[in-house]
Each structure stands twice: as structure tokens, then as C-alpha cells.
Amino acid sequence: MFLERLVPADGALPGELLTELTALYASNHAFHSLSGEFPDPDDIRPEQVATALADDLAHPDAEVLLARSEGRLVGIAITLAHHPDPADPDPWIGLLMVDATLHGRGHGRQFATLVEDGFRKAGRTAVRLAVLENNPKALAFWTSLGYEVIAHRPDRDLGRPCAVLRKELNHPPA
């Protein structure tokens, strides 16, 4: 698996990539039913995905990473180098989503490790994320990777109840 940074060309996503991303988002019907981020999780459209990603990319500290394996788009991650709360020193994983047809094959674990490695290389010592309280599968996934629940609070955008998790990023010996 390798990661590539999403960089729109002239402010837009190439059509083929947008098609891949829409299929990835649409495959995760269960998550989108829980999150409420799309009006109809059974009918996620390219223009909705493009708008959501444009909103994410508009944030100056955001980075969108695409994971590919054997030439196939297997996942997307959206990270924040700095949380909007100045009291929060850690970077955040805002989203890490793997194609639902590939769940259970280790792609999510590998993808999360690569994202964490990027933060380590940047000298970061920990990372945070939020999991919707109504998503026990996601909570089980992240805690299996060593993340610990440190708080419960609504998310900043939609006010949904979330568990905030944090993981110390141990640096390998030099």
C-alpha cells in the first residue's frame, strides 16, 4: 500500500478520480447512515463527494491522503496538522475510510499505521481522532490499534455525540 496526497487540478478533481472516490464513499453505506453527512446514504453522488472534499481541502491545516494497493483506491484519510482548539497540541485524523468491500483484510490497520508514521516523521508525539458514539465497530477498530478514549463531547461541525481518542506515537530508537 502506498499513500498519495490529493491535490486538485485547477480546483477540481479529475473525473476518473472523482468516480473512484464516489464509489469508495458509496461503499460505506453503514457509516454514512450513522454519520448523517450525506442526505441519502443510498445515493451518494459525485458532486456531493467533490463538495465535501473541497470543504476539507479549504482548511489550511488539512491534508487528504489516498491509499492505493495494487493500483486500486482502497481508502481515504483526512488529517489536520493542528486542531482549531489552540489548547489541543495534537494532530487529528478527521476521517479514515476504507472501501467497505475490502473490510477485514488489514487495509485499515495498514493505512492507519502509514498515517501515524507520517505524523512521527513530522516530529509529532501523539494523534487524536473522534469516533461517533453510535459506531461501536469504529471504536473497537481504533482501540485495537492502541487508541484510548480521553473524553466524550459533541463534534464541532454537527454536534453529534463522540468519543475522543488519543494515541501516543512512540518513536523508534535512532
Single out the residue of 91, 100, 107, 106 nearest to residue 24, CA to CA.
100
pLDDT of residue 60: 86
Place of cell 484510548: 148
The pLDDT of residue 24 = 94
Determine the pLDDT at residue 84: 77
* DSSP H/E element including 149: strand 148-154
2-168: which CATH topology? Aminopeptidase (3.40.630)
Distance, in Å, from the CA atom of 109 to the CA atom of 123, rounded to the nearest integer, reads 21
Return the bridge partners of 92, or none: 80, 128
Q: State the Cα–Cα distance between residues 44 and 25, nearest whole angstrom.
A: 7
Residue ranges of the chain with pLDDT lower than 50? none
pLDDT of residue 174: 52
Number of helical (H) and strand (E) elements in the chain, helices listed first: 5, 7
Count the residues in the chain: 174
Domain limits of the chain? 2-168
Of 133, 121, 126, 136, the closest CA to residue 158 belongs to 133
The confidence score (pLDDT) of residue 81 equals 93
